[in-house]
Amino acid sequence: MTDTLPSLLQTLMLVSTLDATYGQGNWVWTQDGAPSHTSDAVQKYIISKLSSKGFWSKEMWPPSSPNLNPLDYFVWTHVEQRACATSHPNVDALKASVNKVWAAMNTNDIVNACKAFRSRIEACIKAEGSIFENKL
């Protein structure tokens, strides 16, 4: 997964979607310490695409912090709920299900998840960094 994450981010048109949603220079990409986020391939991709736009490395992200990353609070949940809605007889069947869900993901849903970021940040600030998802 860590080798394919850069291509998935590119497929989602990450930079252009964020620029279109928030305007150029009005957003910052953050990375937590998840292994898939900190692989060499992912770090090289993120730095090459985002270092001039705004990038916070995992070192700037507090441990055990609320999920403020759209991949965490929307994309992975969306994929997991649909791909795992039924049991799979083997790993290959699970992978096929994940790939099918990923391919069918609606771009508007991803854009809307990114648009929800500001309200999540505001809720997190209001909750002083504590759990806030139940107040959204």
Which tens digits make up the pLDDT trace of 50-99? 766 677 777 776 666 777 878 888 998 899 999 999 999 999 999 999 99
Domain ranges of the chain: 1-61, 66-136
- How far from the centroid of its chain's Cα atoms is residue 50's Cα? 14
Instruction: For 23-54, write each residue's pLDDT tens digit.
Output: 887 877 777 777 777 788 877 877 787 766 67
pTM, to two decimals: 0.55
Distance CA 64, CA 45 (A): 25
Closest alpha carbon to 69 in 95, 33, 101: 33
Q: Confirm if 82 and 96 have CB atoms less than 8 A apart.
A: no
Q: What is the pLDDT of residues 111-134, one digit of tens each?
A: 999 899 899 989 989 988 888 888
**Phi, psi at residue 69, to the nearest 5°?**
-90, 125
